[in-house]
Amino acid sequence: MSSPAQTLSFDLALAMSHLSAKDEKLAELILATAKFQKDLDLAQSPYEALMESIAYQSISGKAAATIFGRVKALGDNGRPPTPEKMLKLKTLVLRKAGLSHAKVLAMKDLAAKTISGVVPTRDQAEKLSDNELVERLVSVRGIGAWTVEMFLIFNLGRPDVLPIHDLGVKKGWSVTYGKKRMPKPKELLAFGEQWRPYRTIASWYMWRAFERAGYKVTNKILPAKVRKRVARLKKSVTAKTKPTRRKP
């Protein structure tokens, strides 16, 4: 397994020092958890990485791995079908592999946009900014901002990505900073300004905070609107069930 020093495009020690100096709570989290590490799949093209992301959407990791394995088997030499082959594969074949109809359409659109050049090669992607990649890739059916952010982090190793809609990052933030509710995306974006230019590393530690807390704790962390709704409901139920005192 490759080490972080071999795969990271930035100075990890400098990043840790910067984040610890800027954020006391994050500094405590860094000391209490494992050292940041992230092995990148440098052999995967953007097309292949995004195809895998589509396969993993909205289902368990185990089921997704099985389905993606079947899709890969439709290609050659242990690699997923090329864009050209993906376009030729019949919908029925892909459905039998376990893909939903929506995912079949998404993968075929991904293949078409790879051939047309909208989805870049790895060499091209390395030269594009984060914003340029987001703008290009969200045009692919079934690919949203979150999927592109995961691609930027885990495939390209970009150091300054903050997935403001990611559940684990939001709940990890709530745990780290002692909040009972999740932050709104704009709130998390503003808070994360202090982490620049290493927001990826800070996000990684928010994921670790989420994992350390466990589901028993994190399941209680809800969006602010939901928390208020639950509180009003509890108050209403309490008022209805509270015994009334009779005057003597």
Q: What is the CA radius of gyration of the chain?
A: 22
Single out the residue of 192, 246, 136, 217 nearest to residue 23, CA to CA. 192
What does the pLDDT read at residue 8? 78
What does the pLDDT read at residue 2? 42
The torsion defined by the Cα of 144, 150, 153 and 159, in degrees rounded to 10, comes to: 50
pLDDT tens readout for residues 162-190: 999 999 999 999 999 999 999 999 999 99
What does the pLDDT read at residue 4? 44
- Tell me if residue 123 is catalytic: no
Distance from C-alpha of 124 to C-alpha of 110, rounded to nearest angstrom: 16
What does the pLDDT read at residue 230? 55
- What's CA 89's distance to the chain center, in Å? 29
What does the pLDDT read at residue 3? 42
What does the pLDDT read at residue 123? 94
Cβ count near 122 (within 10 Å): 16
Residue 237, exposed/middle/buried by CB under 10 A (0-12, 13-18, 19+)?
A: exposed
What does the pLDDT read at residue 5? 42
pLDDT tens readout for residues 41-56: 777 899 999 999 999 9
- The residues near 8 (Cβ < 8 Å, ≥ 6 apart) are 38, 157, 159
Distance from C-alpha of 22 to C-alpha of 152, rounded to nearest angstrom: 24
What does the pLDDT read at residue 1? 39
Catalytic residue among 23, 109, 160, 166: 166
pLDDT in tens, the chain (248 residues): 344 444 678 899 999 999 999 999 999 999 999 889 887 777 789 999 999 999 999 888 899 999 999 999 999 999 999 999 999 999 999 999 999 999 999 999 999 999 999 999 999 999 999 999 999 999 999 999 999 999 999 999 999 999 999 999 999 999 999 999 999 999 999 999 999 999 999 999 999 999 999 999 999 999 877 655 655 555 555 556 666 555 55
